[in-house]
Amino acid sequence: MTPEKKILCIGAGYVGGPTMALIAHKCPDYQVTVVDINPERIAQWNSDTLPIYEPGLDSIVKSVRDRNLFFSTEIEKGIRENDLIFVSVNTPTKTFGVGSGMAADLQYWEKTARQILEHSEGPKIIIEKSTLPVKTAQAMERILTANNNRMRFDVLSNPEFLAEGTAVKDLENPDRVLIGAHRTPEGKKAQDMLVGIYARWVPRERILTCDIWSSELSKLVSNAFLAQRVSSINAISALCEKTDADITQVARAVGMDGRIGNRFLNASVGFGGSCFQKDILNLVYLCRHYGLYEVADYWEGVIRINDHQKNRFVFNMLNAMFNTLANKKICMFGFAFKADTGDTRESPAIFISKRLLEEKAELVISDPKALPNARIDLRGIDQNVRYVEDPYEAAAGTHAIAVLTEWGLYRTLDYQKIFDAMVQPAFIFDGRNVLDHKALFEIGFNVYPIGKPPLIHF
C-alpha cells in the first residue's frame, strides 16, 4: 500500500526520535524515516535498548518500528525519497570565533541544508524542529534557493516544546503546537499541510499558526520564561536561607495567585538540560546584536542566578562540613539534569562534581539511568570518583549525601539503614527538597535543604 505521506527527519536525538515515533504511532498510514549521521545511534534505535530513556517511549517505538517507522543512516536516499523533511540536528552554543559561548553553532544546520539541496530531485517542505536563532529560516532559504531555479523549497518553523522525562505525554497532549510560515500562498499551503498532520491527534484550537520569525522567537522566549521562573524562585531561596523563611511555603503562597500559577516554582540546585542555558544565551546574543544591551543584561541575569545557585550549594556544603572537604567521601544521589531521564547535558551535577573534586573530595555517584553519561562527562578527571548504581552501596562509608536529581526512588529509601552505614556526623544536602527533612533529622542526619533553615544537631 502506498503511504498517504512520506516523512523524513534528519537528527535522531532526544527531539527527533520521540517526535517521529509519535507521528508514526498516530498516523499509521504515513511512512516515517529517521536518519542520522551517527551509525551507533541508529543501531540503538533499531535495537532493544533505545539510545534515550523516556517513560513510555519503548512500547511506542516497538509498536511501529519497521512497520511505518524506520531508522537509517541513509541520509541522501532519505532526502531523495521524501518531500517533507523535519530537521532536528543539534544546535549547540558556539565554542569558537565570533559569538563564542553565546551564539548558536549553526554549522550542522547549514550542512544539512546544503545536503538537502544537493540530493533533492523535486520540491520539498523543510520543517525546522531544532531551536534556532530568529531568522535562521531565512538563511536556510537563501542556501536552498542559491543557483537553483529547478526546485521549490518551503521552510516552516515548528519548534518542539516537549520536556524530557515527559516527552511522550507532552507529544500526545501538547499545550500547543506552533507552526510558523511565510505569509505567501505557498507558505500558507505548506503550513496547512503540517496543521493537517498534527490535527490527527491535537485539538485544532491548540494548533497555532503565525509567521516564521514569531515562531522561532516564541521558542526561545518560552524557554527563557521557564528558566526565569526557576531562577526567580532560586534567588528567593537564597534569601530564605538567610532569614529563616521556608521557600516551599513562599512558593505555595505565591503560586496560588492564579495570575502567577504554581508550576515551575520548585527551588533547586539549579536548572540544567540542553535547552535553557543555550536558548537564553542565544536570546542575549540576539539582543546585543540589535543594540538592546539592557534587555540582554536582564536575560543574562537568569543565567547568573543559576550559576550563583550552583556555587552556593557547594559553599553551603563546605561551610557545613567544617570548611574542608579534602579526603571526605561524598555520595551524589542523582546525576541527570532532572528525574526520569538519563540525560546529563548541562546538569548541575557536572558543575558540582567538578567543584567538589577541586576541593579534593572523593565522590561516589549514583543514578538509576545516567551513569553511562556521567562517566563521559567526568572522563579524565574521575580518578577519585566511583560510579555505583545501588544507592545503599553508594552511600555506605561516606560523610555526606548530596541529592542532585529528584528521582522518586530517593524518597522511598531506608534512611536509617543508610545513616547507620555512614561516617558520623552524617550530612545530607537536599538540592531538590524532595526528602522528609524532619524524619532525617530525627534519624540523626544534619539536614541542609534549599531555601529552608537547616536542621542540625550541634
As a whole number of angstroms, the distance between CA 410 and CA 145 comes to 54
For the record, the C-alpha cell of 372 comes out as 553511562
Q: What does DSSP assign to residue 410?
A: G
Residue written as grid cell 502567577:
260
Active-site pick, 9, 27, 240, 275:
275
- The span of 141-149, 206-214, 266-274, 377-385 binding ligand UDX (CB under 6 A) equals 266-274
Interaction of residue 451 with ligand UDX, rule CB under 6 A = no
What are the φ and ψ backbone dihedral angles of 387, each rounded to 5 degrees?
A: -115, 115
Closest CA to 429 of 328, 300, 327: 328
Preceding peptide of 425 cis, ω within 30°? yes
Q: Which residue is nearest to ligand UDX (CB)?
A: 13
Site for ligand UDX in 110-149 (CB under 6 A): 111-112, 129-131
Closest CA to 14 of 90, 105, 85, 79: 90
Taken in order 191, 194, 205, 12, is the CA torsion positive or negative?
A: negative
Beta carbon nearer to ligand UDX, 43 or 456: 43
Rounded to whole angstroms, how far apart are CA atoms 356 and 349? Answer: 10
**CB-nearer residue toward ligand UDX: 321 or 336:** 336
240 catalytic? Reply is no
Choose which of 8, 9, 15, 286 interacts with ligand UDX (CB under 6 A): 15
Q: Quote the least distance from Cβ 91 to ligand UDX, whole Å.
A: 4
Site string for ligand UDX, 76-115 (x = CB under 6 A): ------------xxxx----------------x--xx---
Rounded distance between C-alpha atoms, residue 37 and residue 9, angstroms: 12
The nearest distance, CB 439 to ligand UDX, in angstroms, is 23
Q: Tell me whether residue 273 or residue 398 sits nearer to ligand UDX (CB atom).
A: 273
Which position among 264, 298, 419, 441 is part of the footprint of ligand UDX (CB under 6 A)?
A: 264
Nearer to ligand UDX, 271 or 427 (CB): 271
Give CA–CA dist 179/42, Å, rounded: 28
| 432, 405 contact by CB (below 8 A) | yes
Tell me which residues touch ligand UDX (CB under 6 A).
10-16, 36-38, 41, 88-91, 108, 111-112, 129-131, 160-164, 223, 226, 230, 264-266, 268, 271-276, 337-338
> Active-site residues: which are they?
275
